[in-house]
């Protein structure tokens, strides 16, 4: 019942808190929403979103593949601190980064790249 209400009103105030209370992952930006929609449209397995991974908050993580994606936007990475912390996080891991343009303008190529990486991880 609550899940249905959230599904009908995903952007209403309090929806994210309800999802967290139910143990669901959340998206925190328009870019994350667009990335998830792109994955759904192409039948790509969905990642965990905005979770803590070894002390870092990551945008998208597929635990079964050991693959992490960071979604980069100018808005959140335009400061020196944002840029430095994001790059430090990527150095500590094997994060893949996609930009707004990758998701919105070049979605087909991005899905192909991601599927190739998921397949390689599954084969490893």
- At the fourth CATH level, which superfamily is domain 27-123? VSR Endonuclease (3.40.960.10)
pTM, rounded to two decimals: 0.72
In what side-by-side order are the strands of the sheet with 48-53?
48-53, 56-62, 67-72, 96-99
Q: Grade residue 2 by pLDDT with cuts at 50, 70 and 90.
A: low
Dump pLDDT digits (tens) for 15-61: 767 666 655 578 888 999 999 999 999 999 999 998 888 887 889 99
């Amino acid at each position: 019942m609550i899940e249905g209400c959230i599904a009908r009103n995903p952007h209403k105030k309090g929806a994210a808190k309800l999802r967290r209370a139910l143990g669901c992952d959340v998206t925190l930006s328009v870019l994350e929403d667009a990335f998830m929609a792109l994955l759904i449209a192409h039948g790509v397995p969905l990642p965990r979103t905005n979770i803590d991974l070894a002390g870092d908050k990551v945008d998208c993580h597929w635990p079964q593949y050991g693959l992490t994606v960071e979604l980069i936007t100018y808005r959140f990475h335009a400061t020196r601190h944002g840029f430095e912390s994001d790059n430090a996080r990527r150095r500590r891991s094997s994060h893949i980064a996609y930009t707004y343009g990758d998701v919105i303008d070049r979605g087909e190529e991005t899905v192909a790249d991601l599927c190739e990486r998921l397949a390689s991880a599954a084969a490893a």
